Structure 1
């Protein structure tokens, strides 16, 4: 019997979770949290150590898209769905849209050992792909216990380590986790942004055709790249828009000099307040110019900050593909994909801003519109399609404002 099918050991009084205590084979991977809690398991992917914020994701599909989403920078993702790897990996499903954006999630945690790929689109098995991307994997741990820990205590800082010799200095790893500065106050967007302006008019993936070209004859939008996901750009192409992608610190005057019909404030990692130190003056100038704007995730938070609202750090965050969100403008409920650890404080929204979307899980804000302006944003990811494609309409809504 595979050692991963043995019953998981319960946590001991010293906080150590060790599923191998009755087995002769030593663990080759470990997760050490800043509070000293330890989870042993089997290492996978890249060998080494990585520090980050530990979160859980409830999606049943899309593990490659999750691990390549730049918004997961400096995070270690625990997948609550137990079986990961059957699709393998391929270049088409990569969400990073620039070389810097390839630095996304630093670690991945699974309940079961990684599944051997069995899909015609597979190009590389997940363990080899993770090694190539320098993502450290850990399987065989009680992911339910870790998820419950995050639920009860919030997203902790932690260190994930993989060494084939099974040698770990737990004290040093705990100190490393405790000393890490965390994501509050962290400006990560510039480090995941494109280093140079470039253009794109590729469309979303279609069955047996892949990503096709939309001929580049539609209206022109500028995407401010704070760590943009590739499918955001592709969905814009799917509604007939030509995209120019610019670095995160591009000035408003330089953006307007490109004569855009609209501007997109992309998703991205880190604390929106930190990114806002250079982004908010640009966004305010764009709003004042009456240029249509669409904000997504971090872009949504930055728009809210630019309009005078506040953002807050969430305890568990929203990470999954099954979140119900209500659109007040239509009265409809959509199932959406989410990935954010910060949120807009709805009570801080000024009178110039109208709330358009709300999470039906916890009532947090998920969308705003600037009154009297062609400017709106959403907290969730309308480009993601882990099954539901309920939010694709937002790209057409944006195109209709141009």
Structure 2
């Protein structure tokens, strides 16, 4: 069966339709060689069609224990080849059973070059009888998708508070502001804390302070930080009151709360092989990343020192204030998928900031 990826900018890519339903979303690429389950279940990929640069996907099947949430968040999955043999069709079945469109036998190298050179576009994956038919279906899907609420963080955030017991009975209590959190952020905290309580992204200062946490975690999440409602104002009132650690979207919203500016990257950083210079841990390491926006270094306040730098393009990968006890990290120190060298930042937060 023939399927198409149609970009809003006009390009059309034909491939083999492996199943799922027609869907629209932002088209992004990921350079990870493994971790397709963690990527697909990461709420940060809400509304996104993911193009994998590694040619073969689904090689090692599926394992529910590695999921980063309880559902698939992507709007589509594109790769050169998918494991589809008598031995193993598990990943293909998992996608199509959840109605996630799957397109293979597409020139992913050419497509990724387009995304790098032209930036991140909206697009749609459709099953169609012709390119003309595909364009008509895609235009309607993209137009409808764009009508959704722009506060994607709120759409991905849990709506009721949740309390989890930690593994360290003498550890601190941490309030987690859920912007679309990956499970491994919560696991890393639970290992070090006596208890964590997870709040909706639009929770008030009073709701958080009534819990009386020792520190606050701002999690990852999808979308444009400028479209996130309430959270920057809430965080602004908590700066200097409680130690704060922001990851990915949390880092960006923390920046906005400080009065800094954010901007959209041309094609974003998504993959498990992004080099970082970390002056807090005094290391250079590879990191897992998934974001489309960055914080403008020159707009940060005087007490915020840029402590982490993306060595690919020099963008701000982290900032820290010893005076007001806040830390923002643009990438994923919790990994999953990806390298674990940055996990020490969780210990830095618990042991040196709280």
Q: Same fold (TM over 0.5)?
A: yes
Distance 1:297 1:116, change over 3 A: farther
**Once the two structures are superposed, what CA deviation does each residue of 1:362-401 show, in whole Å capped at 9, x if it has no partner?**
0000101134022101000000144521111011011112
| Cα deviation, residue 132, structure 1 | 3.2
Distance 1:313 1:253 in 2: 32
| Secondary structure of the corresponding residue to residue 196 of structure 2 | strand
Choose 1 or 2 for highest CA Rg: 1
TM (normalized to structure 2)?
A: 0.93
Distance 1:70 1:142, change over 3 A: same
Distance 1:118 1:305 in 2: 50
Distance 1:243 1:236 in 2: 7
TM (normalized to structure 1)?
A: 0.82
Aligned pair partner of 2:202 in 239, 249, 256: 249
| Cα deviation, residue 218, structure 1 | 3.0
Structural mapping, 1:200-349, within 5 Å: 200-201=164-165, 214=167, 218-275=171-228, 277-289=229-241, 291-349=242-300
Distance 1:128 1:216 in 2: 42
State which drifts further: 217-226 or 358-367: 217-226
Q: 1:82 aligns to what?
A: 55
Distance 1:262 1:309, change over 3 A: same
Distance 1:352 1:107, change over 3 A: same
Aligned pair partner of 2:136 in 141, 148, 172: 172
| Secondary structure of the corresponding residue to residue 257 of structure 1 | helix
| Secondary structure of the corresponding residue to residue 268 of structure 1 | coil
Q: 2:118 aligns to what?
A: 153
| Secondary structure of the corresponding residue to residue 36 of structure 1 | coil
Q: 2:325 aligns to what?
A: 374
Distance 1:357 1:117 in 2: 46
**Once the two structures are superposed, what CA deviation does each residue of 1:124-161 show, in whole Å capped at 9, x if it has no partner?**
81122112333211111000010010111111110012
Distance 2:50 2:77 in 1: 5
| Cα deviation, residue 215, structure 1 | 6.6
Contact persistence 1:217–1:242 (CA under 8 A): no
**Once the two structures are superposed, what CA deviation does each residue of 1:283-338 show, in whole Å capped at 9, x if it has no partner?**
0111142x111100000000011001000011110000000010123432111000
Query: Are residues 1:110 and 2:79 paired?
Result: yes
Distance 1:369 1:117 in 2: 52
**Once the two structures are superposed, what CA deviation does each residue of 1:41-81 show, in whole Å capped at 9, x if it has no partner?**
112242x2111111110000100000111111111100000
Distance 2:255 2:147 in 1: 19
| Cα deviation, residue 240, structure 1 | 3.8
Work out the number of aligned pairs and report it. 353
CA RMSD of superposed structures (Å) = 2.4
| Secondary structure of the corresponding residue to residue 34 of structure 2 | coil
Contact persistence 2:168–2:194 (CA under 8 A): no
Which runs of 5 or more residues in structure 1 are unaligned?
Answer: 1-26, 203-213
Distance 1:117 1:285, change over 3 A: farther
| Secondary structure of the corresponding residue to residue 222 of structure 2 | coil
Contact persistence 1:58–1:319 (CA under 8 A): yes
| Cα deviation, residue 118, structure 1 | 6.7
| Cα deviation, residue 103, structure 1 | 5.7
